Amino acid sequence: TTEKNKYVSILLAIELIWNLCEVLFIDAAPAGSLLLHLLDWVRLHKSDVDARAREVLQSDSPAHHQSYWDVVISLVLQGRVDEARQVLSKQASLRAESSSVFKRMDVLLHTMPIFNPTGTQTLTEFDVKWRHWHEECDRCLQDNTFASNRHLETICKILVGDEDTILEQKELLSTWYHFLVTRLLFTHPTIKPPDLHYYAQVHTTSPILLSLRYCYTELKLVKNKYYLLFYFNSDKFIYLFIYFFLRVFFHLLAVDYFDHCPEFGRVYLELQIERVPLDTERKAIKVLRICEDRQMSEQVRSICKIMAKRALRNNRLGSALSWSIRAKDAAFATLISERFLQDYCNKGSFTDLDLLDNLGPAMLLSDRLTFLGKYREFHRLYGENRFSEAAKLLLSLMTAKIAPRSLWMTLLTDALPLLEQKEVIFSVDQTYELMSCLEELNSGTKDSSQTDQDEDIESTKTELLRLALARNLAMAIVKEGTIET
Amino acid sequence: MFVARSIAADHKDLIHDVSYDFHGRRMATCSSDQSIKVWDKGGNGEWSCTASWKTHSGSVWRVTWAHPEFGQVLASCSFDRTAIVWEEIVGESNDKQRGQSHWIKRTTLVDSRTSVTDVKFAPKHMGLMLTTCSADGVVRIYEAPDVMNLSQWSLQHEISSKLSCSCISWNPSSSRAHAPMIAVGSDDSNVTYGGKVQIYEYNEVTRKYAKAETLMTVTDAVHDIAFAPNLGRSFHVLAIATKDVRIFKLVPLRKDGSSSAPTKFEVQVLAQFDSHNSQVWRVSWNITSTLLASSGDDGCVRLWKANYMDNWKCTGILKGDGSPVSGQPGALSGVLGSATAQSALNGLNELLLLRHKCRFSPHGKLSSKPIPLSCCKSFSELLSLFSFHPTTGQKK
């Protein structure tokens, strides 16, 4: 039953938060009545005051009851000034000598303006009236009118909205939102919803979200039974509850709910999660995390593929590549790598350098991707003037057969500037290897789709390369044959 | 607890099919005016037409979306004996600003000698495969071996079903325990051949599709057919739109090893409803196969749900104009009242792919169609849950 009680108390907490949300967001209250709604809401959820009040009033000597002043103050805190007056009157009849003080308080409480949204008084008129009254209360404090009775002094301080005094009543308030509403009642009775948010901010985080989060954490502790919430009887409550609660915590609640469904939970989640529209990358990542946490590998793959495909359609190659890597889709990664290379051939430069430079082990997903990553590395080394490393890499791309044949000519052409440096970069052995690559390339069957012009260009390139390679070979032989003195 | 919204479709003639994409944010309609229109749901929940173009030289009977893994791809089929595959291409920036997109024809499948009555993509785990069925009873299964090249399709299978076909449905199950399975419905008026629903199954040994079952009890014209999502169950559930709504359960009987004979099934009737009191034209399942929607010539959409004992009953009725049937206040609240998150979230998809063959006004207005039911406020609002902002929890 302790579990049940806990469960019930959480339900009540949720209902309470729900009512607050209803007040704040749904009921389009006319100006000035927000506070009244909030007061109603507080009263609704702090009903122990009534019980205590009854207990006090029904006792033999209410004024001497130990909870007497607690009741009076609680009633004032809830803005129930008339009732507070009623209880106070029990005290007043006893002590004739202090009756003037009690009369004074009675007047203050009696004259407290309460806004009537259906009345003829405008908000401005009310505001003026309220300020007068507020000043009156303040004057009583300045004049030490209630100095003889600390309880009345406390009440007066509450009436002027003194924060410290109200905070001191935390036993009676018991919750932050009660504190908030009380403070508003005695400082800004005409508050509007947007202002309320600002006031709530005083507590540094949105307390509604905080409370929901609290409820959620509490719920998790009520082992596996909280989904019964959804079978709570009120249709409207459930609908709106789901609407708000899930809105804020879908990824926590609904998913957990599925996790707890014994038979079909997982399947339902799998089916549902893949239908979540992937409007933004951020959202996709969030959905992915849910899937990854549950080892839903097929859904992960599918979502990544969808994102990759979409990126490719929009020519965002970098994004498409990241997504294919995440999807572990080798075929798609190959395709995108080819596009990168095509782009390079057309434009002479790479896009998405950040991504290409930091592929890491993901590079191994597909041969073409590996080549792309290494090729980019070659360009980087060259750009950093690390020529011998660049040269070594370039050669290995061909000899280790990482580079596709179709790109060998491009690679050899990339070697030209290295061959034409004043300093000898390629060693004798390396030069021989390059030469054999060139010959291998030329020994292959002629591409019949090549035009005459293309053929000319090819043969010119080959000539240039042969010349450069020969020159380099000569210099390298000399260099390696020379003994350093 | 629902609100229907009508969309003026501006088709110049009868609308024959409406199809939602996988995520429910896009919609395609096709018409006897030979065109297809694509609709996109904006951030504000409003549908706007982002493409409209002439597609065939005859009435377009059906339109369907491929899985988004294959990109933005549509397939349509027509009275002109062809089926066509379309792909959306990213247009010029000023097109985007005007909110327009372009669809180009990737391939035309011209093998059929008669009107092509249905076109459906196979489940994505089978690759990029397209299936058509024709009025002369031939079912064709095509495959695009290179998913990046939508202009190359090869005809893999031709099945002669002997009866004029009207609709097909693939079993979505990706379980290895189930061979690929397709149900074919017929609207043939020939009474000699009893059953108007045939189930074909792929056989690993023969590498062919063979007939596994004929539902002999379905003797009237079948207008639509739909396998329910499988959920990892061993049996299959099939909904049929004919002179009434029928739901069948197909339980595979044990097969010995890898035989070349198709699976034998035990066929059970889970439900049969003639509440529409007229021809039922479409049936559609929600994502989790817990809810079936049907539409009929009575101008109504009905929702069917089973309790834990497999007893099916109607949980909601919507008139074609979106109003609830009187005497059934908040007909859908029953659905939401016991709402598990999944049922509520299904909302939008519950009413997908649904249309009823009402007598449309000559303007082809969508107002009498249940597509607006996608705007069941409760459902679409709930579905908009998905558009929450990840960090602050506020709706985007």
pLDDT tens digits for range B253-294: 877 666 778 888 999 999 999 988 889 999 999 888 888 989
* Torsion region of A200: left, alpha or beta (phi above 0 gives left; psi -120 to 50 gives alpha): alpha
Per the CB < 8 Å rule, is B229 touching A271? Answer: yes
Residues A361 and A440 in one domain: no
| Cβ neighbours around B40 below 10 Å, total | 16
Q: CA nearest A426: which of A482, A484, A474?
A: A474
Which of A264, A271, A312 best probes binding to B when mutated, by most B CB atoms within 10 angstroms?
A271
Domain annotation covers residue A229: no
Interface contact flag, B393 A249, Cβ < 8 Å:
yes
Identify the band that residue A237 occupies on the pLDDT scale cut at 50, 70 and 90: very low
Asked whether residue A46 is domain-assigned, the answer is yes
What A432-437 contacts at long range (C-beta under 8 Å, 24+ apart), as own/partner pairs, is A432/A473, A433/A395, A433/A398, A433/A399, A434/A395, A434/A398, A434/A469, A435/A466, A435/A469, A435/A473, A437/A398, A437/A399, A437/A408, A437/A412
| Cα–Cα distance list, B82 to A289, B21, B143 (Å) | 43, 22, 16
Contact B68 A306 (CB under 8 A): yes
Per the listing, tokens 């037409």 go with B49
Q: From A383, A400, A429, give the residue that closes a domain.
A: A383
Please say if the pLDDT value at position A75 is more than 90.
yes
SS3 of chain A = CHHHHHHHHHHHHHHHHHHHHHHHHHCCCCCCCHHHHHHHHHHHHCCHHHHHHHHHHHCCCHHHCCCHHHHHHHHHHCCCHHHHHHHHHHHHCCCCCCHHHHHHHHHHHHCCCCCCCCCCCCHHHHHHHHHHHHHHHHHHHHCCCCCCCHHHHHHHHHHCCCHHHHHHCHHHHCCHHHHHHHHHHHHCCCCCHHHHHHHHHCCCCCHHHHHHHHHHHHHHHCCCCHHHHHHCCCHHHHHHHHHHHHHHHHHHHHHHHHHHCCCCHHHHHHHHHCCCCCCCHHHHHHHHHHHHHCCCHHHHHHHHHHHHHHHHHCCCHHHHHHHHHHHCCHHHHHHHHHHHHHHHHHHCCCCCHHHHHCCHHHHHHCHHHHHHHHHHHHHHHHHCCCHHHHHHHHHHHHHCCCCCHHHHHHHHHHHHHHHCCCCCCCCHHHHHHHHHHHHHHHHCCCCCCCCHHHHHHHHHHHHHHHHHHHHHHHHHHHHHHCCCC
Of A336, A365, A383, the residue at which a domain comes to its end is A383
CB B3 within 8 A of CB B376: yes
Q: Is B219 on the interface with A (CB under 8 A)?
A: no
Distance from CA of B227 to the nearest CA of A (A): 15
Residue B82, SS3 per DSSP: coil
Q: Which two tokens stand for residue B265?
A: 């099934």
DSSP at B193: S
Residue A250 touches chain B, beta carbons under 8 Å: yes
Strands ordered across the beta sheet of B236-241:
B224-227, B236-241, B245-252, B265-273
Neighbour count for residue A272 (Cβ, 10 Å): 20
Distances from the Cα of B276 to the Cα of B291, B297, B350, angstroms: 17, 7, 18
Q: Which residue has the higher pLDDT, A212 or A112?
A: A112
DSSP state of B269: E
Ranges A3-7, A277-281, B256-260: which has the least confidence: A3-7
Q: A180 to chain B, minimum CA–CA distance in Å?
A: 22
A313 touches chain B (CB under 8 A): yes
What number is the ipTM of this complex? 0.80
| pLDDT at res. B213 | 93
CA A63, CA A94: separation in Å to the nearest integer?
8
Is the pLDDT at B342 greater than 60, yes or no? Answer: no
Q: From the centroid of its chain, how far is CA A76?
A: 40
A307 part of a folded domain: yes
| Residue of A433, A440, A400 lying closest to A415 (CA atoms) | A433
Higher pLDDT, B168 or A170: B168
Is a pLDDT exceeding 90 seen at residue B34? yes
If we measure between CA atoms, which residue out of A458, A465, A377 comes closest to residue A413?
A465
Using an 8 Å CB-CB cutoff, list chain B residues near A282.
390
Return the sign of the alpha-carbon dihedral for residues B39, B42, B47, B50.
negative
Best A232, A275, A287 residue to mutate vs chain B (most B CBs within 10 Å): A275
CA distance B266 to chain A (A): 24
Q: Do A109 and A151 belong to one domain?
A: yes
Residues A303 and A239 in one domain: no
Contacting residues of B for A283, CB less than 8 Å apart? 386, 390
Computed over every residue of chain B, the mean pLDDT equals: 78
C-alpha distances in Å from residue B293, one per residue of B2, B138, B347: 16, 28, 11
Confirm whether A468 is domain-assigned: yes
**B90–A239 CB contact, under 8 Å:** no
Residue B388 to residue A258, Cβ atoms within 8 A: no
The predicted pLDDT at position B143 comes to 97
- A390 and A379 fall within a common domain: no
What are residue B207's phi and psi, to 5 degrees? 55, 35
Report how far apart the first and last C-alpha atoms of chain B are (Å, whole number).
23
Closest to B339 (Cβ–Cβ): which among A230, A258, A302? A230
Asked if A244 reaches chain B (Cβ–Cβ under 8 Å), the answer is no
Q: Is B45 left (phi over 0), alpha (psi -120 to 50) or beta?
A: left
Asked whether the beta carbons of residue B287 and residue A286 sit closer than 8 angstroms, the reply is no
Question: Which among A242, A246, A268 has CB closest to B288?
Answer: A268
Same domain, A296 and A423: no
Domain match, A108 and A29 both? yes
Residues 202-231 of A with CB under 8 A from B: 209, 227, 230-231
Q: Which of residues 277-296 of B touch A (CB under 8 A)?
A: 287-288
**Max avg pLDDT among A61-65, A248-252, A465-469:** A465-469
| Residues A421, A390 within the same domain | yes
Phi (first) and psi of residue B359, to 5 degrees: -80, 105
> Based on the domain organization, do A66 and A80 belong to the same domain?
yes
Question: Does pLDDT of B1 surpass 50?
Answer: no
Is the pLDDT at A227 greater than 60, yes or no?
no
| In a shared domain, residues A242 and A199 | no
Give the residue from chain B lying closest to A312, CA to CA.
B71
Non-local (6+) Cβ contacts of A422 within 8 A are none
Please determine, for residue A60, whether its predicted confidence score (pLDDT) is greater than 50. yes
Q: Do B24 and A275 touch (CB under 8 A)?
A: yes
Tell me the two tokens of residue B77.
């089929």
Contact A452/B at CB under 8 A: no
Q: How many domains does chain A have?
A: 4
Nearest one of A202, A218, A193, A200 to A22, comparing CA atoms = A193
A276 interaction partners in chain B (CB closer than 8 Å): 23, 386
Q: Establish if A324 belongs to a structural domain.
A: yes
A249 in contact with B, Cβ within 8 Å: yes
Verify whether the Cβ–Cβ distance A277 to B386 is below 8 Å. Answer: yes
B74-125 tens-digit pLDDT: 999 999 999 999 999 886 666 666 678 899 999 999 999 999 999 999 999 9
Tell me the shortest Cα–Cα distance from A71 to chain B, in angstroms: 39
Q: Is residue A226 part of a domain?
A: no
Greater pLDDT, B287 or B64: B64
Contact A268 B342 (CB under 8 A): yes
Least confident range of A200-204, B238-242, B279-283: A200-204
pLDDT tier at A127 (50, 70, 90 boundaries)?
Answer: confident
Residues of chain A contacting B124 with CB distance shorter than 8 Å: 302
Q: Do A247 and B395 touch (CB under 8 A)?
A: yes
Domain match, A401 and A373 both: no
Q: How far is B278 from chain A (nearest CA, A)?
A: 33
Note whether A268 contacts B: Cβ–Cβ < 8 A: yes
- The answer to whether residues A297 and A320 belong to one domain is yes
Site from B385, B387, B392, B395 to mutate, A interface, most A CB atoms within 10 angstroms? B385
Q: Which of residues 336-395 of B touch A (CB under 8 A)?
A: 336-342, 344-346, 349, 378, 381-382, 385-388, 390, 393, 395
Tell me whether residue A225 is in a domain.
Answer: no
- Sheet with B300-306, edge to edge strand ranges: B280-285, B291-296, B300-306, B312-319
Structural domain includes residue A96: yes
Residue B335 host element (H or E): helix B333-337
Closest Cα partner for B291 from B275, B311, B269, B306? Answer: B306
A330 touches chain B (CB under 8 A): no
Nearest C-alpha in B relative to A336 = B148
Range of the domain at A252: 234-271
CA of B337: which chain A residue's CA is closest? A235
Looking at residue B192, its pLDDT comes to 74
**Contact between residue B143 and residue B88 where contact means Cβ atoms under 8 Å apart:** no
pTM, full prediction:
0.66
Higher pLDDT, B211 or B90: B211
The answer to whether residue B317 scores a pLDDT higher than 50 is yes
The closest CB to that of A276, out of B382, B386, B396, belongs to B386
* A95 and A6 within one domain: yes
User: What average pLDDT score do residues A373-399 get?
Assistant: 91
Q: Tokens 């440096």: give the residue.
A: A421
